[in-house]
Amino acid sequence: MSETSASVFNHIFHNRNLYPQVEITNAQKSINKILGYLNAGRLRKAVSTLFRFPELLPYSLYAHLFQICCSQRAIVEARKVESHLVTFSPTPPIFLLNRAIETYGKCGFLNDARELFEEMPQKDGGSWNAMITAYAQGGFPDEAFSLFLGMNKVGVYANKITFASILGSCAASFELNLSRQIHGHIMKYGFHRNVILCSSLVDVYGKCQVMSDARKMFNEIRYPNAITWNVIVRRYLDNGDGREAVLMFSRMLSAAIRPLNFTFSNALVACSSIYALKEGMQIHGVVTKLGFLENDVVSSSLINMYVKCGELYEGSRIFYELGSKDLVTWTSIVSGYAMSGKTLEARELFNEMPERNIISWNAMLAGYIDSSKWLEALDFLYLMLDETKSLDHVTLSLMLKLSAGLSDHEMGKQVHGYIYRYGFHFNLMVGNALLDMYGKCGNLNNARVWFGIMSTWRDKVSWNALLTSYARHQLSEQALAMFSEMQLETKPTTYTFGTLLAACANTSALYHGKQVHGYMIRHGIEIGTVLSTALLHMYSKCRCIGYAFQVLKGIPFRDVGLWNTIIFGCCHNRRAKEALELFGAMVEEGIKPNHVTFHGILVACVEEGLVEYGAQCFKSMMNEYSVLPQLEHYNCMIELYSRNGYMDELENFVKTMPIEPTISMLNIALDACKKHEYSKLGEWIMEKINEFNY
């Protein structure tokens, strides 16, 4: 009996104590193993260890695993964790399933998330939030909205997390009306002191381009934090109000809130957009003081700001003084040189870059195209396609700009084919570049057809591009008619008026030109330097020099373009002598003449027959001003010598010029040779012309 009882006791003892102890040890062993793998960053190994253990483990472990799957976007492992959980736990806690939904959402597998969400026998507010957040962050705002409605229907209360996600979706899909309703809810639920939600409202209003409401909301926030300030600066910048963006940034500094690196960056981009060098330099000072100089985000924007404000040297100084340079700072400086017309230096830097991406390639390509170096651009493009095998919407837009610059209709059509194949048809920027290409290559019909196709997604840039095509084809009447039509769909911009005035100028349509000028005054259009230049050009082309001078009087700042317009305006109005006097005044004012200026000067010399002075200008343009003569300058010189019978000089010039004379240059010179019986050069030219025929 005692023996038996002893053995029974023994048995019970084993069952009660010894066996459970083994079980705990095994579970503990597995847990330790899993945690060890996780600490070593070996998620897959951790999950397969979990899978080999056929019983439920502590819930906190699953939570931990989901969290890591989430941050590593490990969908396969996440599915395994969920399956282990639901296999061994008949009623898993809701919070864990919510974590699973979050994880699936973060991995971008919204169907998995939705399936789990639907199958949950019980949901709490967190489940709805997890699902809504998944849709909101996965780029499915409409799904998020409908779930939000569903949640209200079944009587689950929204909380601040719900509102934050829904506002994010509103911002992504520019849902202004819904945003206003959410705004009301937020106030009603008593979240008016919640800085995060209120900052989101500022963001939404800004994204919906209602800056007045954004600002109102901002002003209601008692303690705006760094993110709030960042949002308001960024939204002003995006809405084209660089001035206000810079202003808000300076207020942020006054409020003693330490800017984020992106806020510095936004403020500097805002400075670039309004060419506010002084303000930019002040921000540079703050950057230095607060120790952001070595921050890649800040330094690249700083370089960019100096370059855009015309201080390339200062930009490159920052670049060279940087301790570590990343891809973006490299791209900034390459782009800086490229966009300042210094393509040689830019290319050297480009070749030195330790790594490149599509943006760096695009930046270099844009530099060539911007300085009209078409052939270099073409070579570079081939190299790019060869080496990177990749292109994006920016590359395609640049390719179209290149085709337009070369007036190469065939190439343009080929690029159109590319666009079609790569599925960039609905990209607005590419579409507008395509429109412009057809216009510039002289195919107005294709431009119009494409403009029609774009009717559901075109913008004001599309209208401007089409107007330009009409203007280019000397169809100013039709351009003005389009202008009326345009106003039914969108508002005109500076570009619109620039184009219209040019159209009037080129067709000497004084009446229409005055109408456009009147429209601008009546509608309070700000007439800056560009539009003043366009007006001046129009009036002087229309031989209305009195009005032209009237416009000139009201302009406080004269740039090269304006001076060039005045100089050419004098030439058109048989006042070449005054053009030459103006050149002196311009130089005195400290404005650097460019290739267009010298073209104007040489045209004036041709008109006045000033051979020696013209030759002197031609020399000084290279030696003193380092402006490289182009076709039109050579053309002027040949005309100058030919018209005035300077045959020895003509011969010397034609035979030593570094580029091949064009057929029209040769014809001008040949006429002179015939007139002055200068057969020595005449024969040489005849030979050249014959070469052209072969």
Partner DNA sequence: AATATCGTAC
- Interface residue with DNA among 67, 388, 529, 620 (CB under 7 A) is 529
Please enumerate, as own/partner, the contacts of 275-283 that have beta carbons within 8 Å and a separation of 24 or more: 275/308, 275/309, 275/310, 276/242, 276/243, 276/246, 276/309, 277/306, 277/309, 277/310, 277/311, 279/246, 279/250, 280/305, 280/306, 280/309, 283/249
Would you count residue 479 as binding DNA (CB under 7 A)?
A: no
Closest to DNA by CB, 45 vs 413, is: 413
- Interface residue with DNA among 281, 359, 444, 545 (CB under 7 A) is 359
Closest to DNA by CB, 129 vs 468, is: 468
- Interface residue with DNA among 513, 599, 634, 678 (CB under 7 A) is 599
**Spatial distance between the Cα atoms of 413 and 403, rounded to a whole number of angstroms:** 9
Cα–Cα distance list, 473 to 207, 504, 507 (Å): 38, 12, 10
Please enumerate, as own/partner, the contacts of 88-92 that have beta carbons within 8 Å and a separation of 24 or more: 88/54, 88/55, 88/56, 89/56, 91/121, 92/59
Residue length, the chain? 694
Residues 6+ apart with CB under 8 A from 173: 141, 142
Residues from 364 through 403 that contact DNA (CB under 7 A) = 366, 370, 392-394, 397-398, 401
Q: How many helices (H) and strands (E) does the chain have?
A: 41, 0
CB of 149 to DNA, least distance (A): 32
Closest to DNA by CB, 286 vs 429, is: 429
CB of 472 to DNA, least distance (A): 8
**Binding letters toward DNA, positions 397-436, x by CB under 7 A:** xx--x--x-----------------------xx--xx--x
**Spatial distance between the Cα atoms of 82 and 463, rounded to a whole number of angstroms:** 54
**Which two three-digit tokens encode residue 127?**
């489940």
Closest to DNA by CB, 394 vs 654, is: 394
**Spatial distance between the Cα atoms of 76 and 46, rounded to a whole number of angstroms:** 13
**Spatial distance between the Cα atoms of 379 and 405, rounded to a whole number of angstroms:** 15
Closest to DNA by CB, 161 vs 428, is: 428
**Binding letters toward DNA, positions 213-252, x by CB under 7 A:** ----------------------------------------
Residues 6+ apart with CB under 8 A from 182: 163, 166, 167, 170, 201
Residues from 303 through 322 that contact DNA (CB under 7 A) = 304
CB of 303 to DNA, least distance (A): 8
Closest to DNA by CB, 98 vs 316, is: 316
Residues from 82 through 121 that contact DNA (CB under 7 A) = none
Residues 6+ apart with CB under 8 A from 5: none
Please enumerate, as own/partner, the contacts of 416-422 that have beta carbons within 8 Å and a separation of 24 or more: 418/391, 422/391, 422/396
Stretch that binds DNA, among 113-121, 283-291, 296-304, 517-525 (CB under 7 A): 296-304
Closest to DNA by CB, 53 vs 262, is: 262
Residues from 485 through 514 that contact DNA (CB under 7 A) = 493-495, 498-499, 501-502, 505-506
CB of 454 to DNA, least distance (A): 11
Residue 43 CA, chain-centre distance (Å), reads 39
**Spatial distance between the Cα atoms of 574 and 593, rounded to a whole number of angstroms:** 21
CB of 184 to DNA, least distance (A): 30
Element (H, E) at 73: none
Would you count residue 301 as binding DNA (CB under 7 A)?
A: yes
Closest to DNA by CB, 102 vs 436, is: 436
CB of 499 to DNA, least distance (A): 4
Would you count residue 265 as binding DNA (CB under 7 A)?
A: yes
CB of 75 to DNA, least distance (A): 26
Would you count residue 273 as binding DNA (CB under 7 A)?
A: no
Residues from 616 through 675 that contact DNA (CB under 7 A) = 632
CB of 542 to DNA, least distance (A): 12
Residues 6+ apart with CB under 8 A from 89: 56
**Spatial distance between the Cα atoms of 574 and 158, rounded to a whole number of angstroms:** 76
**Which two three-digit tokens encode residue 129?**
């939030």
Residues from 451 through 470 that contact DNA (CB under 7 A) = 460-461, 464-465, 468
Closest to DNA by CB, 13 vs 420, is: 420
CB of 337 to DNA, least distance (A): 11
> If phi over 0 gives left and psi between -120 and 50 gives alpha, with beta otherwise, what is residue 543?
left
Contact 161, 133 (CB under 8 A): yes
**Which two three-digit tokens encode residue 60?**
């906190």
Contact 372, 406 (CB under 8 A): no
**Spatial distance between the Cα atoms of 45 and 409, rounded to a whole number of angstroms:** 59
What is the secondary structure of 154-177 as a DSSP string? TTPPP-HHHHHHHHHHHHHHT-HH
Closest to DNA by CB, 148 vs 361, is: 361
Residues from 550 through 579 that contact DNA (CB under 7 A) = 560-562, 564-565, 568
Stretch that binds DNA, among 106-114, 118-126, 533-541, 657-665 (CB under 7 A): 533-541
CB of 601 to DNA, least distance (A): 11
**Spatial distance between the Cα atoms of 599 and 579, rounded to a whole number of angstroms:** 12
Stretch that binds DNA, among 86-94, 214-222, 590-598, 655-663 (CB under 7 A): 590-598
Residue 97 CA, chain-centre distance (Å), reads 41
Residues from 147 through 166 that contact DNA (CB under 7 A) = none
- Interface residue with DNA among 235, 537, 558, 575 (CB under 7 A) is 537
Closest to DNA by CB, 92 vs 259, is: 259
Stretch that binds DNA, among 50-58, 355-363, 415-423, 447-455 (CB under 7 A): 355-363
Cα–Cα distance list, 514 to 141, 502, 526 (Å): 49, 12, 16
> How many residues bind DNA, per CB under 7 A?
71
Residues from 322 through 351 that contact DNA (CB under 7 A) = 326-329, 331-332, 335, 339
CB of 156 to DNA, least distance (A): 35
CB of 541 to DNA, least distance (A): 8
**Spatial distance between the Cα atoms of 61 and 82, rounded to a whole number of angstroms:** 12
CB of 336 to DNA, least distance (A): 8
Three-class DSSP category at 200: helix
CB of 202 to DNA, least distance (A): 16
Residues from 180 through 209 that contact DNA (CB under 7 A) = none
**Spatial distance between the Cα atoms of 198 and 218, rounded to a whole number of angstroms:** 8
CB of 464 to DNA, least distance (A): 3
Residues from 18 through 57 that contact DNA (CB under 7 A) = none
